[in-house]
């Protein structure tokens, strides 16, 4: 059992959730064709499929498997519930809250997708405005405004091509940081643009369907990844704390990872070597650092770092030396463009500039009662 098994588990969970959402979607569409009202059909179908509880039970089954991927087993299922009550992101939501938010979003999205399926013959403008409703407004206000302008254009307008070209240039910069949300949203925008250009109603409808699906899929995957990775780090820590041969943890990003703030945690050297922290400790209390973070820790053994180095305090300021050696693009990926500029001008300390920065600190331990319920081999 290994980290790889864990990643397979996460993939499998995402698929289970996606398939379940699709099942509900198909059932609701079928009933709608019998002439029942949209609201009633969606509400009833979600209730009938026991949506929220089913999603919860998918997670509950997964938590013991996370332990297993680390070579641990649960004595009984009662520990599993405690994972649902923990919050770890700044929004202070726990897994239960997140699942109920996802349920609400799913309801809205299912209704919208069906509605679009029913009314295929809509004007470009209406369809594009509907797309605006699903993208994350707070992230994309500027882009949304532009898209709204584009939606007012008609194919016959001689300025249309020029304006679409300008907009396309703008969105090509969008999602460059490799952020999953923005690059997926970008693809959805591109599909709508193509549709506007061709004036093909069928294609617009399909483009909008895709946009909804992208969002649904993205949400489900994001919750699975981050919440499961959180459980993984805690159980990893629990296991290593019992092993006297382990003296530290190494921070790792995944192989398909694009540069972000986690690279800083992986490469800064606070005195023990690149990305190495004392046992039981890591920046941000360990991964995940941000939604979709799939970073993970691995053990560092006796002899791999000197006892002398382990006794010293962390050399926090040395992180800046590494940071200064990185390319402009990578610095921007770790800090954001504005923060990087302010850091360069000396207006911001590097610790304030890096997104989600935190000094190495103790990883939150599993409660003593629940701890007794896991057997670490
Ligand atoms: Zn990460």
One pLDDT digit (tens) per residue for the chain, 377 residues: 588 889 999 989 888 887 887 788 778 777 765 667 778 888 888 899 998 888 888 888 888 888 888 877 776 666 566 666 666 555 667 777 877 877 787 778 777 766 665 554 344 455 555 555 555 555 556 666 666 666 555 555 566 667 777 777 777 766 555 554 566 666 667 766 666 666 544 554 455 556 556 666 677 778 788 888 988 898 899 889 989 999 999 999 987 788 999 999 999 999 999 999 999 999 999 999 988 899 999 999 999 999 999 999 999 999 999 999 999 999 999 999 999 999 999 999 999 999 999 999 998 877 666 666 667 66
Residue 60 CA to ligand 1 center (angstroms) comes to: 24
Q: In the chain, which ranges are continuous DSSP H helix?
A: 3-32, 38-48, 51-69, 95-118, 124-134, 141-152, 160-172, 180-198, 201-241, 261-267, 307-311, 319-324, 328-335, 337-344, 350-353, 368-371
Q: Which residues pair with 249 in a beta bridge?
A: 277, 299
Task: Quote the pLDDT of residue 132.
Answer: 54
CA 36/CA 343 separation, integer angstroms: 59
What are the two backbone dihedrals, phi and then psi, of residue 179, each rounded to the nearest 5 degrees?
Answer: -65, 130
Determine contact, residues 230/6, Cβ cutoff 8 Å.
no
Residue 283 CA to ligand 1 center (angstroms) comes to: 11
Burial class (CB in 10 A: 0-12, 13-18, 19+), 335: buried
CA 316/CA 336 separation, integer angstroms: 21
Residue 309 CA to ligand 1 center (angstroms) comes to: 26
Task: Quote the pLDDT of residue 121.
Answer: 37
Residue 288 CA to ligand 1 center (angstroms) comes to: 6
Residue 273 CA to ligand 1 center (angstroms) comes to: 19
Q: Which residues pair with 282 in a beta bridge?
A: 361
CA 201/CA 207 separation, integer angstroms: 10
Residue 150 CA to ligand 1 center (angstroms) comes to: 36
Cis peptide before 288 (omega within 30 of 0): yes
Residue 151 CA to ligand 1 center (angstroms) comes to: 37
CA angle 239, 242, 243 (to 5 degrees): 95
CA 117/CA 119 separation, integer angstroms: 6
Residue 111 CA to ligand 1 center (angstroms) comes to: 34
Q: Tokens 């599909």 sit at which residue?
A: 191
Task: Quote the pLDDT of residue 196.
Answer: 62
Q: Which residues pair with 300 in a beta bridge?
A: 248
Residue 225 CA to ligand 1 center (angstroms) comes to: 11
Query: Ligand 1 being an ion, which residues bring their Cβ within 5 A of it?
Result: 262, 289, 293, 295
Residue 51 CA to ligand 1 center (angstroms) comes to: 30
Would you call 223 helix, strand, or coil by DSSP?
helix
Determine contact, residues 177/333, Cβ cutoff 8 Å.
yes
Residue 28 CA to ligand 1 center (angstroms) comes to: 37
Residue 132 CA to ligand 1 center (angstroms) comes to: 29
CA 262/CA 290 separation, integer angstroms: 9
CA angle 347, 349, 352 (to 5 degrees): 110
Question: Which DSSP string do the residues of 123-135 spell out, in sequence order?
Answer: -HHHHHHHHHHHS
Residue 355 CA to ligand 1 center (angstroms) comes to: 11
Task: Quote the pLDDT of residue 34.
Answer: 64
Task: Quote the pLDDT of residue 268.
Answer: 96
Residue 287 CA to ligand 1 center (angstroms) comes to: 6
Residue 369 CA to ligand 1 center (angstroms) comes to: 30
Residue 120 CA to ligand 1 center (angstroms) comes to: 41
Sign of CA dihedral 349, 355, 360, 361: positive
Residues near 294 by Cβ (< 8 Å), separated by ≥ 6? 7, 10, 225, 229, 254, 257, 287, 288
Residue 179 CA to ligand 1 center (angstroms) comes to: 12
């Amino acid at each position: 059992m290994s980290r790889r098994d864990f990643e397979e588990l996460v993939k499998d969970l995402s698929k289970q959730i996606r398939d379940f959402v699709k099942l509900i979607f198909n059932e609701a569409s079928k009933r709608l064709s019998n002439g029942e009202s949209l609201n009633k059909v969606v509400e009833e179908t979600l209730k009938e499929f026991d949506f929220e509880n089913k999603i919860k039970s998918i997670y509950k089954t997964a938590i013991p498997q996370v332990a297993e991927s680390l070579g641990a087993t649960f004595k009984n299922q009662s520990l599993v519930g405690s994972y649902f009550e923990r919050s770890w992101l700044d929004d202070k939501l726990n897994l239960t809250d997140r699942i109920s938010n996802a349920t609400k979003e799913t309801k809205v999205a299912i209704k919208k997708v069906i509605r679009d399926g029913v009314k295929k013959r809509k004007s470009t403008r209406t369809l594009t405005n509907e797309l605006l409703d699903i993208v994350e407004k707070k992230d994309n206000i500027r882009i949304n405004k532009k898209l709204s302008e584009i939606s007012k254009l008609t194919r016959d307008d001689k300025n249309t091509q020029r304006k679409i070209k300008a907009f396309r240039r703008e969105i090509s910069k969008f999602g460059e940081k490799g952020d999953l949300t923005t690059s997926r949203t970008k693809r959805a925008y591109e599909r709508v643009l193509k549709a506007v250009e061709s004036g093909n109603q069928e294609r617009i409808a399909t483009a909008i369907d895709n946009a909804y699906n992208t969002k649904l899929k993205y949400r489900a995957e994001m919750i699975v990844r981050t919440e499961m990775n959180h459980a993984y780090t805690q159980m990893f820590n629990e296991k290593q704390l019992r092993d006297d041969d382990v003296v530290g943890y190494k921070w790792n990003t995944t192989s398909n990872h694009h540069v972000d703030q986690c690279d800083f945690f992986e490469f800064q050297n606070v005195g023990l070597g690149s990305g190495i922290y004392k046992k039981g400790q890591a920046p941000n209390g360990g991964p995940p650092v941000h939604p979709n973070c799939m970073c993970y820790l691995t053990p560092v053994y006796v002899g791999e770092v000197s006892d002398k180095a382990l006794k010293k305090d962390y050399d926090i300021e040395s992180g800046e030396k590494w940071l200064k050696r990185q390319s402009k693009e990578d610095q921007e990926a770790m800090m954001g463009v504005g923060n990087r500029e302010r850091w360069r001008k000396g207006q911001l300390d590097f610790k304030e500039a890096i997104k989600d920065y935190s000094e190495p600190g103790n990883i939150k331990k599993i409660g003593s009662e629940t701890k007794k319920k896991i057997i670490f081999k």
